[in-house]
Amino acid sequence: MSDQNVIVDGLQYVNWDRRLFEKTRDSGINAVHVTIAYWENFREVVENITQWHRHFENNADLIMPARSAADVLEAKKQNKVGIIFGFQNCSPIEDDLSLIKVLHELGVRIMQLTYNNQSLLATGCYEEHDSGVTRFGKQAIREMNRVGMVIDMSHSAERSTLEAIDISERPIAITHANPLFFHNALRNKSNDILKALGESGGIIGFSLYPFHLKNGSDCTLQDFCQMIVDAADIVGINQVAIGSDLCEQWDYSKLEWMRSGRWTFGADYGEGSAAKKEWPKQPDWFTGSQDIKNIATGLSAVGLDSNDVNKVMGTNWLNFFDHSFDPRCNK
């Protein structure tokens, strides 16, 4: 599928409605990996999937489910946005390995092993001690490999991420993060991770979330795009993409849910602070899906040819999906 040009956003968490579906479709984006769980259990995530089925019914002219790379191409053909379900935590599988296959059959294609904290599967990036992938985590990785669900280590700690890359029989993803060399944030990734990801055939989607950008909301398009070029020298140009981590149309209560879930009675500010607890301001050149093509322009400006720009903007994701979502595929 390497000759198919598409635009894919590897992660968004948006309070979707028809206006935003239309805006995303009109932006030229052909597929979005949408977050449908942070701290939800199995029953709660089924309710979220039910809500998405209503979205599909009520907005059938704008969106469609995308469970394969072929679905992404079909969405492009129909001038729709393909919606790929993903979890930013493993909480929906609870402590039951069999739920991985059930959730895959419900359309889930990507699952993070952790969301900042220690989970039953691995260690999150905010923990002081990283004990690596757990016994349950090893079994979960094996089952995810079997059914065709991508392991995502975006919010995981260093050792856990390196172990997941090593344990997994199929390439893993970091759907939304940036290199540590670009900005020293807890969730950004070391050169060791970038090298291991590249050597294993994995992929990283670069994030536009201001807490993970050089100079935060004032990050320039040139600096962001040059970072992609520099990272591609480590990971490989076929394994870099966009995962904007766009959060749109939510109030502060949703940010509190993302950060604190049910695991604390106090306030957790993530990589913000009590003084800067609200949603951070997006860079002026990327305030929403309508600005996605600014990135393509910026990549051209820092020296990438049109073929490599297309790879970053979506072809790399398409090829990764083609080898990752099918239960019959192997590494």
Per-residue confidence at 268, pLDDT binned at 50, 70, 90? confident
- Segment 54-72 shows an average pLDDT of 98
The pLDDT tens digits of the residues spanning 32-48 come to 999 999 999 999 999 99
- Segment 153-157 shows an average pLDDT of 98
- Segment 294-319 shows an average pLDDT of 98
Q: Supply the pLDDT for residue 330.
A: 45
pLDDT-above-70 percentage for the chain:
98
Per-residue confidence at 272, pLDDT binned at 50, 70, 90? confident
CATH class of residue range 8-324? alpha beta
The pLDDT tens digits of the residues spanning 202-226 come to 999 999 999 999 999 999 999 999 9
- Segment 224-241 shows an average pLDDT of 98
CA angle 194, 200, 206 (to 5 degrees): 40
Angle between helix axes 221-235 and 191-200 (nearest 10 degrees) is: 60
The pLDDT tens digits of the residues spanning 90-128 come to 999 999 999 999 999 999 999 999 999 999 999 999 999
Instruction: Give me the chain's average pLDDT, please.
Output: 95
